[in-house]
Structure 1
Amino acid sequence: MSQPESSLPRIYKRPSLLTQLFDIFLIELTNWRWSWRGMLITGTIAPLFSLLALSIFARDSGPYSLSYVLVGNIVFSLLFNTMDNISSHVLFMRRLGMLDYFGTLPIWRPILIFAILLAFLLLALPSLVVMIVLGSLILNLPLHISPLVVLVVPLCAVPLAGIGAIIGSRIRSPQEASAISIVLIFLLSALGPVVIPPERLPSLFNLLGRLSPATYASSALRQVLLGPITGQLAIDIGVLIGFSLILTLIASRLIAWKEQ
């Protein structure tokens, strides 16, 4: 005797990666529909004050040093708006059991990280635009924006999102996550030629900076925002892709959910 059709098990086909990304992206955006204004203000004020403070000391150093001040603070804004926010958000999701909910969905784990990143990156774009425009005016640096900026900006944010997701997946409390994120933000900004030209840094800092994605993000952004574009851009993009793949893979393995 055949079973009723309604009692037969259903086979669900996993949606395409693009569908997964878009759906989780919309879910993430709805989380911030009431708090995006505060995030926008916070993500703009801190880097802008940092830019103003550093510009006082670097103003007599010429356009070369000022270019590091401008782009370094843009990277600082990306660090603040992606790594810190994502670490707190992943921790929040983990403690409330939201990751178990996502485990019931037919999605690929790295898609969750990319969707969270895209949501925060969209919320950070106004801050980045303000930083670029006001920073260039304050420092009197002409912009020569390349179309490659559309590729470089998200690529700079992906490794930072991976670091934030790793922190959020392992740390026990919001206080610890915030403290570790802030320390890493300042370390990544200070190690390597991010805010300060390499000639003014100790050799050890330049050496350690080669291990930091912020160094390559700063170099790539400086070329696509201020020019000129050189062969170093291809190296920067390649290294950022490598950091993105490695850190996203680690984060996706560390994010634990109960698949059902």
Structure 2
Amino acid sequence: MPQNHLPVGDDSIAAAAARLLEATAGGTPVPPVRDLIGRDDVKAAYAVQQRITAERITAGAVVTGRKIGLTSTAVQRQLGVDQPDFGVLFDDMAYADGSVVPVDAVLQPRVEAEIAFVLGADLAEGPLDAAQVRAAITHAVAAIEICGSRVADWDISFGDTVADNASAGAYVLGSRRVPLTGFDPVAAEMTMAVDGETVSTGTGAACLGDPVDAVVWLARQARELGDPLRAGQVVLSGALGPMRPVTPGTTVHATVTGLGTVSVSFSASTPA
């Protein structure tokens, strides 16, 4: 993957983090940060993400897992990259099946349906291959990810979205928990409807060929960056079909064969 010729300095990383944090605090999207860290400098982009994560943890947020993005080869081509990315999930991002989410809880919200995995063991040691990852997964659930971008108009490069926590916003987990012994992620078929109209379909094979392989990739990347996956964490493995924007009053309903359904609705604004 192309890299910037010169290393990005700490001042630029701090400025990029501050810009994105300003968007969160003010509720208004900001310009892209690629003017500060470049379009495709992986190291710099994750440094910004880690700085923002540290700020959130200091403020009391609790890490609940990770999300994997850019698992579609078409989206990778669009952004000129050859690998997925990942972001961090926090406790205030989690919603129960059937929840009503204030539409302004996530900036510029878009939804996508995917398979989520819950870990029963750490993925910090060993080969971190498919066999180890499968053994670490306690169950899979249907999920709706509510993606959001702190970058105005979703005008993102690879560097922008990685710095912006892989465009993570919120997530909704279905209530049916299925162990991998009774579920084939590759063969799973997804249908997502917005206000009763089907807007997205796909299969598990759309997620890097196998959603478990996406978790393998994530486990290795997370360990390399010094923050391995831990027991109890949720992993959103990547979209099985195109994402769609939502507006106040929208209801989203997704079905993943073998895992059942998951739904979420959006209210006009955050309750006072």
TM-score class, shorter: under 0.3
| Structure with greater strand share of residues | 2
Normalised to the residue count of structure 1, the TM-score between the two structures is 0.24
Normalised to the residue count of structure 2, the TM-score between the two structures is 0.23
Q: Could you say which structure has the larger radius of gyration?
A: 1
